[in-house]
Amino acid sequence: MLKIVKTSLAMAVASLAFANVAQASIEDDLANICTIVQADDKGELRKKMRRVQSDYNLKLHDYYTGISCGGNSLIRTALTSNAVEVGTLLVKKMPKSNLQEPEKDGKTLQAWISENGLSGNPIAVELEGRI
């Protein structure tokens, strides 16, 4: 009986330690995603998204809201950086329902785009066609 308790306790401690390591690793894996978006490096972004999906079983919509690039979301960063290839990829990969939700500042992407006069941007056109 004592063996079972010790084994269970050891497994619980090991799983907690692994969970903390996994959390730190995903933050490391997503650390330079803002730089990739600003550089309009579509190939590198695809690799990063595949790596996160295979290593942590997370899709873009799972971690999109947790990433902020100077106070902006990834799509907003792509719009301000004129990163057309990356921005259209992000719009295509996000679920339609998530594209219509307000972001951290309470504004939807469409409202923010019209407020900043970016409605002629190809990313905004793609977003409008998607919604």
How many domains is the chain partitioned into structurally? 1
Backbone angles phi, psi at 100, to 5 degrees: -95, -10
DSSP structural state of residue 58: -
- In a domain, residue 11? The reply is no
Distance between CA atoms of residues 26 and 52, nearest Å: 7
For residue 65, tell me if it sits in a domain. yes
Q: What is the mean pLDDT of residues 40-46?
A: 92
Q: What would the two tokens of residue 45 be?
A: 């972004």
Residue range of the domain that includes 91: 32-130
pLDDT of residue 1: 55
Phi, psi angles (nearest 5°) of residue 94: -80, 140
Specify if 15 maps to a domain: no
Residue 101 within a domain: yes
- Residue pLDDT, tens place only, 68-96: 888 888 999 999 998 999 999 999 998 88
Angle between helices 74-81 and 122-130 (to 10 degrees): 140
C-alpha span between 58 and 36 (Å, rounded): 19
pLDDT > 90: percent of the chain: 17
